[in-house]
A and B are shown apart, each in its own frame.
Chain A
């Protein structure tokens, strides 16, 4: 077995997995607090990509990156205030429909602004540079992504487990009424949840789009869906679950992409089978299998509904 053929696929799998993880946390945290699948999250990710393109066109990177992050966070916050907060006491289905509405709104605004044309993503200095690891040539972002993801996730878990505000978040995630009786401002907790989710999506978009040539209005849909599957796979509501799920999906997807060449180099098959075509299908087959056999996911709470 020649590992040097497999290595590049594993590396990019870990990298893509980290990017999915950063998006998946936004899904899982919002679900944990509001029991809402925030369908607009993937589109916030796409808008972050577009903002980076427009900002970097008119100003240097050390302004455009922080500015992109700030505006993405503001966008996430504004969506919650405008589209979800007024529906706090409405049936859950209403908020979900509102989320779908926001998703289409963002996609169509992006279509309007870009004219539907592919916008070229700028090369980010240093992280877009090529490096060589174990004979495999890749971009530096491949190595930075998993490290940055782990650092951010650890920081987030520390915040949730060991700070007073994190304690309030955990309380709100279980019981709105009783959390209020403790004096917790649940609107504030919910806003912060969206701010954290959008912040991580902004970082994720920076790392993700570096590997692609450009951003179109539907660029957020696929990574958003995959991150959502990762969150379900890990057990929606669980942050470590979303991260583990995202890495597993990222790695499996890329291994499938490389399956043809790996098998050919090792002489197991003599012609291309086109396995790469099935890399996206794998993710969704996984979703179906989880929903049938373990709907609570890897680390999900046994009982998701409030009593």
Chain B
């Protein structure tokens, strides 16, 4: 279980994340929603070890991992699917998947076929340079690549960004599928509607603070959330 206590992150004098606390219980799908600049991505990048934190605790199974190197955090089973896919365009699809398993020394055949079962499109394009894939395919590759490390917790930063609505639906059903296989999911989304329908637990972030917490359904029914993030017309 991941537990964040009073985490703060500063970006050159600006407090991007202030004293936020939340929990991600094992086996759940947890989502952080909020507007642009609320500190969602920064929170994920701080957990992954990519940005320096200013204070607080990041507890992974009751051990504080704040300040550890990125590769040590990855080796503990925490992975991040970064915003904007960030597949390696100069590597083939297969190489991208293999590089996802960089820290593993065992056989990858089983994991590769698992990823290819989940995303048959990737199998067809296995030898293609991943820079030539479509946005949706790149997102699938980014998820597949993260799965190759056999994560216990998969953090996803805006997986729906810039994708066609049908592809977004696919991605979210795959997120649920991955979760059913036992991977805990921490999801950051601007598409609050989709995220809250998928998640068991949701947190609302505003200018670096957690302002609301509840189950996905509770937040969907919350008047304030509806006004701010779902658009009133939906009623």
Write the residues of chain A forming the contact surface with B, with a CB cutoff of 8 angstroms.
164, 167-168, 170-171, 173-175, 177-185
> Separation in Å of the A29 CB from the closest CB of chain B?
14
Residues of B close to A181: CB separation below 8 A: 48, 50, 70, 74, 79-80, 82
Check: B88 CB closer than 8 A to any chain A CB: yes
B226 at interface by CB-CB < 8 Å: no
Q: What CA separation (Å) do A182 and B49 show in the bound complex? A: 12
Give Cα A168–Cα B71 distance, bound, in whole angstroms.
13
Stretch at the interface among B23-31, B97-105, B177-185, B217-225: B97-105
**Is B111 an interface position by the 8 A CB rule?**
no
Residues of the A chain whose Cβ atoms lie less than 8 Å from the Cβ of B79: 181
B86 to chain A, nearest CB (A): 4
Query: Residue B50 contacts which of A170, A174, A180 (CB distance < 8 angstroms)?
Result: A180
Number of A-B contacts (CB under 8 A): 58
- Is there an interface contact between A177 and B86, defined as CB atoms closer than 8 Å? yes
A-B contacts, 21 listed (Cβ < 8 Å): A164-B102, A168-B102, A170-B88, A170-B90, A171-B88, A173-B90, A174-B90, A177-B82, A178-B82, A178-B88, A180-B71, A181-B50, A181-B82, A182-B100, A182-B102, A182-B145, A183-B71, A183-B75, A183-B102, A184-B71, A185-B71
Q: Which of B39-85 contact A (CB under 8 A)?
A: 48-50, 70-71, 74-75, 79-80, 82
B162 at the interface (CB under 8 A from A): no
Contacts of A170 in B (CB 8 A): 88, 90-91, 95
Q: Does B149 contact A (CB under 8 A)?
A: yes
Distance between B119 CB and nearest chain A CB, rounded to angstroms: 18
B71 surroundings in chain A (CB, below 8 A): 180, 183-185
B189 to chain A, nearest CB (A): 19
The CA of A135 and the CA of B57, in the complex, are separated in Å by 77
Identify whether the interface residues of A are mostly helix, strand, loop, or mixed. Answer: helix
Q: Which of B50, B89, B95, B102 has the most CB of A within 10 A?
A: B102
Instruction: Convert B132-160 into 0s and 1s, putting 1 for each residue whose CB lies closer than 8 angstroms to a CB of A.
Output: 00000000000001000100000000000
- Assess whether A175 is in contact with B86, with CB atoms less than 8 Å apart: yes
- A195 CB to closest chain B CB (Å) equals 20
Q: How far is the CA of A181 from the CA of B49 in the complex (A)?
A: 9
* B-chain residues with CB within 8 Å of residue A177 when the two chains form the complex: 50, 82, 86
Q: Are B50 and A171 in contact (CB under 8 A)?
A: no
Contact B102 A184 (CB under 8 A): yes
Please indicate the chain B residues that have their CB under 8 angstroms from the CB of A174 in the complex: 88-90
B86 touches A171 (CB 8 A): no
- B contacts with A, residue count (CB < 8 A): 23
Could you say which residues of chain A place their CB within 8 Å of the CB of B90? 170, 173-174
B91 touches A182 (CB 8 A): no
Bound state CA distance, A100 and B80, in angstroms?
Answer: 38
Q: How far is the CA of A271 from the CA of B149 in the complex (A)?
A: 72
| B residues near A183, Cβ cutoff 8 Å | 70-71, 74-75, 102-103, 149
How far apart are the CA atoms of A178 and B85 in the complex, in Å? 10
Instruction: Using A181-B79, A181-B82, A182-B100 as known contacts, say yes or no to A175 and B88 having CB atoms under 8 A apart.
Output: yes
Establish whether residues B50 and A168, one from each chain, have CB atoms under 8 Å apart when the complex forms: no
User: How near does chain B come to A193, taking the closest CB pair, in angstroms?
Assistant: 16
Q: A178-B86, A183-B74 are in contact. List 6 more A-B contacts (CB 8 A).
A: A167-B98, A170-B88, A171-B99, A173-B90, A178-B82, A179-B99
Task: Determine the chain B residues whose CB is within 8 A of the CB of A178 once the complex forms.
Answer: 82, 86, 88
- Once the chains are docked, how many angstroms separate the CA of A175 from the CA of B50? 13
Residue of B nearest to A184 (CB): B102
Separation of A192 and B39 alpha carbons in the complex (Å): 36
**A167, B99: Cβ atoms under 8 Å?**
yes
Q: Top 7 closest A-B pairs, CB basis?
A: A183-B103, A180-B70, A183-B74, A178-B86, A183-B71, A183-B102, A182-B102
What chain B residues lie within 8 Å of A164 (beta carbons)? 98, 102
B103: chain A residues at CB < 8 Å are 182-183
Closest Cβ neighbor of B100 among chain A residues: A182
Name B104's closest neighbour in chain A (CB-CB): A183
Q: A175 to B71, alpha carbons, bound, how many Å?
A: 15
Q: Inside 8 A of B74's CB, which chain A residues have their CB?
A: 181-183
Closest A residue, CB atoms, query B142: A178
A121–chain B nearest beta-carbon distance, Å: 40
* Nearest Cβ on chain A to B154's Cβ, whole angstroms: 12
Contacts of A182 in B (CB 8 A): 74, 99-100, 102-103, 145, 149
Which residues from chain A contact B99 at a C-beta distance below 8 Å?
A: 167-168, 171, 179, 182, 184
Q: Which of A170, A179, A181 has the most CB of B within 10 A?
A: A181
List B residues 181-196 near A (Cβ within 8 Å).
Answer: none
Assembled-state Cα–Cα distance A168/B70 (Å): 15
